[in-house]
Amino acid sequence: MTLQDLANYGDIFGAVGVIASLVYVGWQIRANTKAARLRMHEQVTQTYMSFLGSILVDPGAFAAGFKSEDPDFGDLGDDQQVFFFATMLGFFKHFEMMYVQCAQGVMDEQTWNAWSTHIRMQFHQPGAQNWQNLRKATFIPAFREYLDNSTPPEMKKFVDLLESRSGGSLLYLA
């Protein structure tokens, strides 16, 4: 065996080592991406659950805001308007963040489709429509377009459930 033969074998072993390293790095990247998506899903859910908790501070004001058909919310008191507007801004900024995460490929399509149904259900309430008309400029153009072109999902809206139940339980918001 010549020195040249040994060098050729060394090149072959080196190439196999490089390929094995690339396969390992690809596996690590895939595992890291999966873990990041799981963390993102958990964070999105936890943040939304904290928003639901904030509604319990004044559930009547939130329900009144959702049901309001007055474009300027004149049928709500000042405290109710402030509460509803602040809560809606938090909700829809959270929804906008999820929209951007999906557009950037951080959120997988299956997760987005589930949240999108919920977003559209919230958006197609009378008060949410009126609020959005007053606060549209606070969102990125792509998210505004998504909302404007969205259709209500085939599920009962919160307002419909409030009207069908005595006492207007907020349990159906989630």
Evaluate if residue 108 carries a pLDDT over 50: yes
pLDDT of residue 26 exceeding 80? no
pLDDT winner (highest mean) among 14-18, 114-118, 163-167:
114-118
Identify the pLDDT of residue 171. 44
pLDDT in tens, 45-94: 787 778 778 888 888 898 899 889 999 999 999 999 999 999 999 999 99
Please tell me the predicted confidence (pLDDT) of residue 162. 63
DSSP letter string, 34-80: HHHHHHHHHHHHHHHHHHHHHHTTSHHHHHHHHH---TT-TTS-HHH
Confidence of residue 30 (pLDDT cuts 50, 70, 90): confident
Q: Is the pLDDT of residue 126 over 70?
A: yes
Q: Letter for the amino acid at 64?
A: A
Q: Count CB neighbours of 122 within 10 A.
A: 17
Q: Tell me if the pTM is above 0.85.
A: no
Q: What percent of the chain has pLDDT over 90?
A: 42
Residue 172's pLDDT band (boundaries 50, 70, 90)?
very low
- Given a contact cutoff of 8 angstroms between Cβ atoms, the answer to whether 131 and 80 are in contact is no
How confident is the model at residue 158, as a pLDDT? 65
Position 157 scores a pLDDT of 66
CB-CB contact of 51 with 91 (8 Å): yes
Domain ranges of the chain: 40-173
